[in-house]
A and B are shown apart, each in its own frame.
Chain A
Amino acid sequence: MKAWRKAVEFGRSAWRATADYFQRNYDLPQIKRWIDGALYKPVPRHVNWAYSFGMMAMFLFIVQVTTGALLALYYKASAADAYESVKFITNSVRLGWLVHQVHAWSANLMILFVILHMVKTYVTGGFRAPRELTWITGAFLLFVTLAYGFTGYLLPWDQLSYWGTTVGTEITGAIPLVGGYLKTVLRAGEDVNAATLPRFFAIHSMGLLLVMAPLLVAHLLLVRNHGIAPLTPTTEGEPSPEQILRDGGIAFFPHHLLKEAAFVYVLLAVLVTLAVFVPFPLHDKADPFRTPEGIKPEWYYMPAYQLLKYVPKAIGIIGMTVGAVLFIILPFIDRSPERHPRKRKKAMWLGVAVVGVGMLLMLAGYLSESTHTIFGKRMHFDLRGVPHVVVDTVGVDTSGAPAQGGGERE
């Protein structure tokens, strides 16, 4: 009992000494004011569940970093061992399958939530002044996230990842002037080869983190600095914190943050459910001499991949590059003061058109080079996703034909 009291007393004195040290050497009230300012930032009344997409994306990024670090404990980034090491993680490491599947699923969900977050920001006019930089850092974060997906895709070194990366890097080669050089740099040679894998792993685990971390910090600081954008026109200026609160706003902490934390728990459960019930399969080991049929990229690259089937590669690449630049500098192009979507009908239609075209291209991409039965007819979708009725060898459409003499057609 005496020893216990001594230990408690020691703990108290250590705490006091630590507190004294910080009070003596740092301006703690100033730090507290800064933290309180960010933490209790008023959140406007119109903020709904869609405003949680950013937090979801950040949570998934944390999941990515955590699971990625765990995977790196066993993953071997060489063409000879990568596939076997992924198998080992999946089959032999305790809960390795869960970490692997959660990593794969959170990567896809992260990209989805980053896209949804950007769509929400576009729709609510959150990119307008004074938040131009927030938008630009967000756009770059989207590109870095896509780059994470691209570089991570190769790492299992199975047939799908190998040939998917071959197709992806081939597209890079179509960039005018520098395409060939970029392709060689990415592939570490003429083809996707044993040297490509460690290069992609280095970019995936270290290179992109060096870009992502400062961008993310800048983005979060900018968000905390400006707060959440109102729906009022830019000409009316930014409402004061008191005004936001008087108009029915809430404090970021604890009210908004607790709501987002609740969403995070649900997202975590969704993530585990997907990992268990819809696992990403590991295909055969990469074989440069055996090209599988109908190789397709991941869903987030599908629209771009499919677009390049309709237009010459160089034009497609230039078009997409111009599109990406316009996307980044959107706040400087769309100078309308209006933020509310109802007052930006043209912008909304443009957004719907872009998303619609993207979805159509994705659908065409998935359907291309496959055969499906649609309304009782066997349809083959060619490379461009154009459907053709499947006919038998003598040229008769057998899919919907009635039995001889048994058809009742008017």
Chain B
Amino acid sequence: MSRASAAIAVLLLAGAAFAQPPGFDETKYSCVVCHSDVKVDLFESSHAGQDLLCHDCHGGNPSSFDRRGSMEGAPGFRTLRDKREALRVCSSCHSDFERMRHSSLPTDQMEHYRYSVHGEALLTRGDQNAAACPDCHTPHRVLPGSDPASSTYPVNVPATCAKCHADSSLMSRYGISSDVPSVFASSYHGRLLIEGKDRSAPSCASCHGNHGAAPPGYSHVAQVCGGCHITTRTYFLESEHADASRAGRMRECDSCHGHHDVARADVSMFDTTCAKCHTDPESGPRVRGREIAANLSRADQALAEGDALIAEGVGEGVDLEVERGELGRARSDRIEVEPVTHSLRLDRVEGLTERIFATVATVRERIQDVHSERVTRRVFVFATWVFAVGMAAGLFLLRKRLMRGFVHPIYGVRIGDGGDDSRRTDG
């Protein structure tokens, strides 16, 4: 990096670090003189954008440059170290409809919080370990949840929760496993969210709620999962498993897929997971499971074959856009068949997989047609050459024959004899 660009970078960083609300006079605001570490976080927060500064939450007198006069001795000063006090200060604005009218934020978070596990612990038992607003939103650098730098941005939520829930000494006091964050991080959901930055994947808050955070009971698991997996839940409710869950013999989705450790579902589950309950490998459910799995595997093989056929055809310069579209439709069928498997109805699964097989068969036929057409085209080229060479040879022979003894019809000169007047036939 050149000196000039380094200097520009330093200036830009300095500018960003000392970004402050317009009209703010640092020489007249005593808080930032001592709490310079907090200043940057506060000035980058959403609050600073609303002209909310230190004294709006902490009280005190920021115009006084005397420690006592500005803090302990000033009216209304509060440290907010007691989380209940922090809740009151936050909710004084965030539960006030008049103040929140022009923002898109709801005003019922405090009510949600009151009935959450965290809220009950703090407000009922005065447990200062329970998470309150500043624990999740950070005390000063409060950013909207849509900001990727925010602690409540979906991708960052697991790390935010893990601040407490991965703390084994803290969690042991409540009988909660501290490996939940790491288990979630290695699950299919966790990898999609954390590694893949896929915001459509669930974070902790998607299942547990945020302000009203509470662990869903097993009786509610299907509802929680079904919030996203709507079709799957619809088919599940039609199955024998739904009856077993209602009778308490099964924990709905959790029995097969787990919860924090949800793995990517694949056809092997029909063998391994089913066996957990249906121990007899020749029992009706196991046989049906194997048949469903076999259908899915065959559909996957058919789709892979379709892809290979398309790639082969395209590689040979064949236009297969229509076939590619048909294969795309077959892939949609394959996606659709997964929720259908939760109905445990083989006929329904077969109905969809048969469509996939039929589509791939069509693509196969088309490619075979293309191959046979290619052979035809080569034969056509060969025939063209035979015809062309035959005609050319014939024309040359005809020319040779015509040239033999040819006398020019106008000038009477014998062609091919050249340069001898005696050969002129017209004298």
Contacts and interface: CB of A to CB of B under 8 A. Distances in A.
Interface of A: 36-37, 40, 42, 45, 87, 90-91, 241-242, 245-251, 254-255, 258-259, 261-263, 265-266, 268-269, 272-273, 276-277, 279, 281-282
A40 B419 contact: no
Interface string B403-427: 1001011110101101111000000
Interface in B154-191: none
B385 A261 contact: no
A91 B319 contact: yes
A268 B391 CA distance: 11
Contact of B419 (A246, A261, A268, A276): A246
Contacts of A282: 319
A241 B402 contact: no
A393 to B, nearest CB: 16
A250 B403 CA distance: 9
A241 B409 CA distance: 12
A245 B319 contact: no
Given A42-B408, A90-B319, 6 more contacts: A42-B411, A245-B415, A248-B416, A259-B399, A262-B391, A265-B392
A250 B415 CA distance: 6
Contacts of B402: 254-255, 258
Contacts of A90: 319
A241 B415 contact: no
Interface string B365-398: 0000000000001101100110111011101101
B317 interface: yes
Contact of A246 (B321, B393, B396, B418): B418
Q: How large is the interface on B (under 10, 10 to 19, 20 to 34, 35 or more residues)?
A: 20 to 34
A272 B380 CA distance: 9
**Which of A36, A87, A258 has the most CB atoms of chain B within a 10 A radius of its CB?**
A258
A272 B377 CA distance: 10
Interface of B: 317, 319, 321, 377-378, 380-381, 384-385, 387-389, 391-393, 395-396, 398-399, 402-403, 406, 408-411, 413, 415-416, 418-421
A284 B387 CA distance: 37
Say whether chain A's binding surface is mostly helix, strand, loop, or mixed: helix
A265 B388 contact: yes
Nearest to A45: B418
Contact of A262 (B396, B406, B419): B396
Contacts of B391: 262, 265
Contact of B317 (A91, A255, A279): A279
Contacts of B384: 268-269, 272-273
B388 A87 contact: no
29 contacts: A36-B410, A37-B410, A40-B408, A87-B319, A245-B411, A246-B418, A246-B421, A247-B418, A248-B418, A248-B419, A250-B415, A251-B406, A255-B402, A258-B396, A261-B395, A262-B392, A262-B399, A265-B388, A265-B391, A266-B388, A266-B392, A269-B384, A269-B388, A269-B389, A272-B380, A272-B381, A273-B381, A276-B377, A276-B378
Contact of B389 (A250, A254, A266, A281): A266
A242 B420 CA distance: 11
A242 B411 CA distance: 6
Contacts of B319: 87, 90-91, 282
Contacts of B380: 272, 276
